Amino acid sequence: MSEESASDFRAEYACSEGCDFRASLMDVVYRCPRCGGLLEVAHDVKALRTVSAAEWKRRFETRFGSARLPDGSGVWGKREWAYPQLPAEDIVSLGEGRVPLKPLPRMAAELGLAALDLKECGVSPTGSFKDWGMTVLVSAVKHMRARGVPLRAVACASTGDTSAALSAYCAAAGIPAVVFLPRDKVSLAQLVQPIANGARVLSLDTDFDGCMKLVQAVTADTGLYLANSMNSLRIEGQKMVAVELCQDLGWEPPDWVVIPGGNLGNASALGKGFELMLSLGLITRRPRIAVAQAQKANPLVRSFRGGFQELVPLQAEPTLASAIQIGNPVSFKRAVKVLKAFDGVVEDASESELANAAARADREGTFTCPHTGVALAALEKLVAQGVIARGSRVAVVSTAHGLKFADFKVGYHRGSLAEVTSQFANPPVELPATLDAVKGALADLG
Ligand SMILES: *Cc1c(COP(=O)(O)O)cnc(C)c1O
Ligand SMILES: [Zn+2]
């Protein structure tokens, strides 16, 4: 069977707020110049429909089995749905995506769920799901530079994971990267990642929202390309989390997907992935979506409780879930649209709830980050409230690898985290180095 090349398909920018603005993906534009709305990458769905659902599945499965990049990438193995006209030589892939779907059968049984699976998006080159989107953005920049668009560097504000991803992909592509980080508000691992990858790291005396304002101002006129999630290219990679999840489940979506949300780009991407699969017939049923926030940074929760009223930006307070300590989410409107389309709900978690939920999952062989803890805690609460019915099949998007947050884990098991009562603390046993002491410490193992 002949495969048409990916370049038989086309995608372009369109205004996400419904006005008729269109632009090439080669244009340096982040917002609609007519109405100020965010842009989205619009695919030629009619052209994509000329390939049957069965053929898309076959094609994706075939590439999924490849050990070689870019076919073996969870994003570029589905490149017709990401950035179809991008020439292969401009793809910058580090082997993102194609991550495990880890079942948590004990926790599922305890909660009365038919299935509970963690989509381990942090098992990835830089340890977070941000890689899924950054591969598309940096590839697009490589392509623009190759065609003479004058871009000196790529810049982002970050709560720690976006900057790590940007730095690694730019390093691979040989493109300068500049990252704006809120001083003392990212983990040590997150700080050292862009340093190691040779990015220019600006550590600023402000929070994420403060960094965001500055990077937007700087990128407005200096030939620096903005890599934050208002840049809708990233959504094109991140939406593959939804596609890969369905693929993992034999193209049968779960009843619920629970995802942590800060700037809300990822929740928006999830919706976009499901919508595309629905319109091309790869799935026929909509899952419901639950977005989880930390109580300390919950502007979406507050809006939801008032029936999705206008976003009221707030000053996010420090939370263990530092990557979602965001008070003014840029993708608020996109996320509300997705939540409405997927009969969604929003829930939040306290510091103690998120830390204990993360620790509970760890006891089943994973190593969850605090943000995934927020999602798991929200899941526990939604099941207790009866919103997520017993017997449901639930997938939780795990957004980063817990190894990036070693301080959080150590503090939890030492019992030293503020506002947290550690229910599952498992501190090391300190002993003299004698056989008797060791035997004594192991006597209860049976
Ligand atoms: C960025 C990030 C999030 C939040 O994603 P948004 O798209 O900003 O909502 C959640 N968890 C981790 C680990 C992240 O790095
Ligand atoms: Zn517009």
The pLDDT score that the predictor gives to residue 220 is 87
Each residue's pLDDT tens digit, 389-434? 999 999 999 999 999 999 999 999 999 999 999 999 999 999 999 9
Each residue's pLDDT tens digit, 258-281? 999 999 999 999 999 999 999 999
Please state, as a whole number, how many other Cβ atoms lie within 10 Å of the Cβ of residue 209: 20
The topology under which CATH files domain 101-127+234-414 is Rossmann fold (3.40.50)
The pLDDT score that the predictor gives to residue 7 is 67
How distant is the alpha carbon of residue 412 from its chain centre?
Answer: 24
Q: Token pair for residue 12? A: 């372009």
> 69-72: long-range contacts at Cβ-Cβ below 8 A with a sequence spacing of 24 or more?
69/93, 69/95, 72/98
Ligand 1 centroid – CA 223 distance (Å): 27
Q: CA angle at residue 300 from 370 to 125, to 5 degrees?
A: 40
Ligand 2 centroid – CA 341 distance (Å): 21
Q: Which of 128, 191, 193, 272 to mutate to test the pocket of ligand 1 (most atoms within 8 A of CB)?
A: 128
CA distance 208 to 184: 11
Residue linked to tokens 């993906």: 25
The pLDDT score that the predictor gives to residue 2 is 42
Q: Token pair for residue 196? A: 């190691």
Ligand 2 centroid – CA 40 distance (Å): 10
Is the four-CA dihedral 336, 138, 319, 362 of positive or negative sign? positive
Ligand nearest to the CA of 22: 2
**Lateral strand order in the sheet of 22-23:** 22-23, 11-15, 39-43
Shortest-distance atom of ligand 1 to CA 264:
9
Ligand nearest to the CA of 263: 1
- Would residue 227 be called left, alpha or beta, if left means φ above 0 and alpha means ψ between -120 and 50 degrees? alpha
Q: Which of 118, 399, 408 to mutate to test the pocket of ligand 1 (most atoms within 8 A of CB)?
A: 399
Nearest CA to ligand 1 atom 1: 323
Ligand nearest to the CA of 329: 1
Shortest-distance atom of ligand 1 to CA 371:
11
Nearest CA to ligand 1 atom 2: 323
The pLDDT score that the predictor gives to residue 1 is 38
Are the C-beta atoms of 329 and 263 separated by less than 8 Å? yes
3-class DSSP assignment, residue 155: strand
List the chain domain ranges: 101-127+234-414
Q: Token pair for residue 152? A: 């000196």
CA distance 297 to 1: 51
**Lateral strand order in the sheet of 288-294:** 101-103, 115-120, 393-398, 256-260, 288-294, 345-349
Collect the ranges in the chain with pLDDT lower than 70: 1-7
**Which of 256, 330, 322, 279 shows the shortest CA–CA distance to 51?**
279
Ligand 2 centroid – CA 39 distance (Å): 8
pTM exceeds cut of 0.85: yes
Nearest CA to ligand 1 atom 8: 263
One DSSP character per residue, 394-442 reads EEEEE-BBGGGGHHHHHHHHHT-STT---TT--PPPP--S-HHHHHHHH
Cβ < 6 A, ligand 1 pocket: 128, 130, 161, 229, 260-267, 323-324, 369, 371, 399-400
Residue linked to tokens 């780009």: 265
Ligand nearest to the CA of 124: 1
How distant is the alpha carbon of residue 431 from its chain centre?
Answer: 42
Q: Which of 99, 120, 126, 129 to mutate to test the pocket of ligand 1 (most atoms within 8 A of CB)?
A: 129
CA distance 174 to 198: 10
**What is the DSSP-derived secondary structure letter of residue 445?**
G
The pLDDT score that the predictor gives to residue 186 is 87
Helix (H) or strand (E) holding 143: helix 130-146
Backbone φ and ψ of 172, nearest 5°: -65, -35
